[in-house]
Chains A and B, each alone.
Chain A
Amino acid sequence: MKIVKLANYLFNSTARDRSDFFWLLVFPIILLVILMLIFPSLYEPKEVTFSLTFLSQNGMFSEIIERVFKELSIGKHKIFRLSILRNTEENLNNEIEKLRRRNIDLIVEIPEGFDAQMLNWFMLNNLGVTASSPTINIYSLKHNISSESAYLTVKNILQKLELEFIKKVGYKLREVESEIELIGIKSTFSYIDFIYPGIVIFVVFMTGLFGIGLHLTWLKESGILKRIMVTSLPKSSFIISYIISRIYLIMLQITLISLIAKFLFKTTVNPLSLSFIGYTSLTVICLSSLGFFLASVSKNVSSANAISQILNFPLQFLGGIYFPVSGVPWAIRWLVLINPITYLASGIRDALGIMESPYPLYVTLIVPMAWIIFCLLFTYRRFKLEEV
């Protein structure tokens, strides 16, 4: 009874602390919403319209190309916001400046003599002579994803147009289709299915670092632990109460995240499935052990805070919570490989059928278990010695 009472007290004191309440309960929800606003549009852009300047020339071929771009620039689902100008040096320079200032995404320039070159190419081709192909100049902006995407779209359109020209000349083309098979993911990729287990790991990680590591250090530094130790309450009862209070907290966090993922973002992941519960339990034990380890190595709140922050971002971002990190260079791959979150995130996603794990199943279990053993053994030796 005392154990439950103390657990309730410890849980309430954390939930009542504004900072803990915000970082452990509110912030993960805000983060999930932000990630869902940003990343799905990066993986599967929808309804993108590019600003394109077409610098034209007189002539039949230039007009055919111009007409194609005009057709793609009308209607509700238009691909381009098209601006057609005569190709003069002044216009080109002005448009390049606009491109630099990101007012437009791409410039397609039909150079002078393009039509003559095209006619020349077809004539020579009829005579069986291989002529050099006429060139269309394209100007894109570096470090700008819109401009790079616009270039790929234009390239694809001009390749298709080229095939049409070849057909018109009388050649028979092979009908070749293309398809993409994405490996490393299972079925259709859905960012919410990908991020939901990641955010579950994130909340447990936050609780491990801040809700256990930092909190326990604070209890130690402020002398509360010492005072508890001189009461009639056995040490084991305090430890059990503390663990129960953290389980309350983690269960509340996971329930909140699951409700939002399920009802707001419509994840297909079943949080009651065995694999989800199994890996989540492993995550809870592993990352809570990390929290106890942190409390054992930190002499005061200040150092615990500094260690937590230093561990927080690299382990989070290089654990594959937000995006896959299996192909990163060796300079930071070692951080990916020693990170327990890497294996927890890969394992849970593989088990749920979201994304294939680059590591065998047993590795995704053994590495977190090794971390658990190491952290708990270390805590057992260090934490006990300091407190007695």
Chain B
Amino acid sequence: MKIIWKLFLTTIKIFYRDRMTFFFTLIFPFIFVIIFGFVFGSGSSGENNKLLIGILSSDEELYKIVNSIEGLEVRRFDSIADIRQHILKNKLDAGILYENNKVKLILNFTTMQRNPFSRAIGDTIANHLAKSKTKIDKIISLNLNPIDPGEVVTTGLGYMVPGVVAISIFNGALFSMLSIFSYYKKRGVLKRFNVTPIRGYQFIIGMILGRFIVTFFSATVVLVFSQLIFRVQFNISWSLYLVTASTSILGMMAFGILISNIFAEPEVASNVGSLLMTVMIFFSGVYFPLDFLPKYLRIFGSFLPLGYVAKSIRIATGIENGSISSVLNISLIMTLIFFVLVFIFGNKIFKAE
């Protein structure tokens, strides 16, 4: 027990001294939260941010109509060139011109990127103008009820944070197994341990336990700090979080063990791990929506474990509803895979040495 405890403490020290692992587990997810939060923050958030629309001062009718539409704020300008300049400098979201029964929506490309639905404003204004002479405001009112996916009302950024926590878990767990099962083997660390009185299982338990704790701690730090810094709302069920985060770490560690056994060279294994991380970041639906991708890519995305880890953490943080039994089933599967792989490859690696 004492040996396992010593190895456990040493692993924790190594983790915080190893700048790269520390960076990828703790700093890297934060950088992504900040960048994506600011760049795509309002685009998919569903928040009702008002769009700033520029129109010509001379167009009184257009002013009245645009002003009456919910979600739009109007600014008046003396010339079209002035409107364009303001749009180009991102001081206006869009401009509207009305001439010869034609509504022209001038939109900045970056505005369309942040708010893809801004391109529908032109149609809405054209419909209002079409019926403006009839003095009928509207026959049918639409009452939109945006439903929160979970019990907590959160922003787009808040919805993204559990995905970032999932990435932190993936990085920490996968790369820690690559270092134990790949780099330690290559550098002869395992061989040296084999000639000490330390038994193979003690080494593996001590190392894995250490990496498990630091990965869990780092993921939780990302979650709590995101909550504090960006003031996002969560309703964390700590017991469910403990189960999902722990079993996700074990599941991702299983991935690492598998990769390090398929690719014997540590550098190759590390490159495969990084490539897998890139693929998961793009195709697991954490940062980019998969809804509009071709069907084969959506099916591919559905096989990536990162999406399930992110979903489990969303459920644990209360921002998405889901069946707890399915979360527990996934957790059980991940744990089983982990123990089977550790047993097989842990034995194999020490026997081989």
A residues with a Cβ closer than 8 A to B are 18-19, 22-23, 27, 30-31, 34, 37-38, 41-43, 45, 48, 96-97, 99-102, 118, 121, 125, 130, 133-146, 148-149, 151-152, 155-156, 158-163, 165-166, 171-185, 189, 302-303, 305-306, 309-310, 313-314, 317-318, 323-329, 331-332, 355-356, 358
Quick check: B101 and A174 within 8 Å, CB to CB?
yes
**B145 interface contact, C-beta 8 A:** yes
Docked-complex contact B102 and A143, CB < 8 angstroms: no
User: Contacts A38-B282, A176-B101; is A142 near B148 (CB within 8 Å)?
Assistant: yes
Total contacts A to B, CB within 8 angstroms?
A: 260
B143 touches A138 (CB 8 A): yes
Q: Which residue of B lies closest to A160 (CB)?
A: B127
**Cross-interface CB contact of B101 among A19, A130, A175, cutoff 8 Å:** A175
Q: Is B336 an interface residue (CB 8 A)?
A: no
Could you tell me if B322 and A145 are in contact, using CB atoms closer than 8 angstroms?
Answer: no
11 contacts between A and B (CB under 8 A): A31-B278, A140-B144, A143-B149, A143-B156, A145-B292, A155-B142, A162-B131, A173-B131, A176-B102, A306-B23, A332-B34
* B32 contacts chain A at the CB level, 8 A cutoff: yes
CB–CB A181/B143 < 8 A: no
Q: Residues of B contacting A302 with CB < 8 Å?
A: 19-20
Instruction: A27-B275, A140-B145, A181-B104 given; name 19 further pairs at CB < 8 Å.
Output: A38-B293, A125-B136, A133-B137, A134-B141, A138-B145, A155-B120, A155-B124, A156-B123, A163-B130, A173-B131, A176-B129, A181-B107, A183-B107, A302-B19, A302-B20, A309-B23, A327-B90, A331-B38, A332-B35
Assess whether B294 is interfacial by the CB under 8 Å rule. Answer: yes
Take A18-B267, A310-B27 as given contacts and tell me if A175 and B108 are in contact as well, using a CB distance cutoff of 8 Å: no
Residues on B with C-beta less than 8 A from A152 are 117, 120
CB distance from A314 to the nearest CB of B (A): 6
Q: Is chain B's interface secondary structure helix, strand, loop, or mixed overall?
A: helix
Residue contact A182 to B109, C-beta cutoff 8 Å = yes
A162 touches B123 (CB 8 A): no
| Least Cβ–Cβ distance between B15 and chain A, in angstroms | 14
Q: Is A139's CB under 8 angstroms from B130's CB?
A: no
Q: How far is the CB of B319 from chain A (nearest CB, A)?
A: 8
Q: A41-B294, A310-B27, A313-B31 are in contact. Are A133 and B130 (CB under 8 A)?
A: no
CA distance A95 to B299 in the complex (A): 24
Interface flags, B311-328, vs A, CB<8A=1, else 0: 000000000111000000
Contact A327 B110 (CB under 8 A): yes
Nearest Cβ in chain B — how far from A5, in angstroms? 27
**142-169 of chain B: CB within 8 A of chain A:** 142-150, 156, 159
**Which B residues form the contact surface with A (CB < 8 A)?**
19-20, 23-24, 27-28, 31-32, 34-35, 38-39, 44-46, 84, 87-90, 101-114, 116-117, 119-120, 122-127, 129-134, 136-150, 156, 159, 265, 267-268, 270-271, 275, 278-279, 282-283, 288-289, 291-294, 297, 320-322
Q: Which A residue's beta carbon lies closest to that of B91?
A: A327
* B130–A175 touching, CB < 8 Å: yes
**What CA separation (Å) do A310 and B292 show in the bound complex?**
32
- Chain B residue nearest in CB terms to A122: B139
Residues of A with C-beta under 8 A to B23: 306, 309-310
Q: Are B120 and A156 in contact (CB under 8 A)?
A: yes
Known A-B contacts A100-B321, A133-B138, A329-B38; A146 and B289 likewise in contact (beta carbons under 8 Å)? yes
Shortest distance from the beta carbon of A112 to any chain B beta carbon, whole Å = 14
Question: Separation in Å of the A180 CB from the closest CB of chain B?
Answer: 5
Contact assessment for A328 and B140 in the assembled complex, using a CB-CB cutoff below 8 Å:
no
> Contacting B292 at CB < 8 Å: which of A48, A137, A182?
A48
Please indicate the chain B residues that have their CB under 8 angstroms from the CB of A172 in the complex. Answer: 133-134
- Quick check: B144 and A151 within 8 Å, CB to CB? yes
Bound: A38/B288 CA distance, A: 8
Nearest to B160 among chain A residues (CB) is: A143
Distance from A322 Cβ to chain B, minimum over Cβ atoms (Å): 10
Determine if B19 and A303 form an interchain contact, defined as CB atoms under 8 angstroms apart. yes
Q: In whole angstroms, what is the CA distance A306 to B309 when docked?
A: 28
A173 touches B130 (CB 8 A): yes
Give the complex CA separation of A305 and B110 in angstroms. Answer: 33
In the complex where A18-B268, A133-B138, A145-B44 touch, is A159 in contact with B293 (Cβ < 8 A)?
no
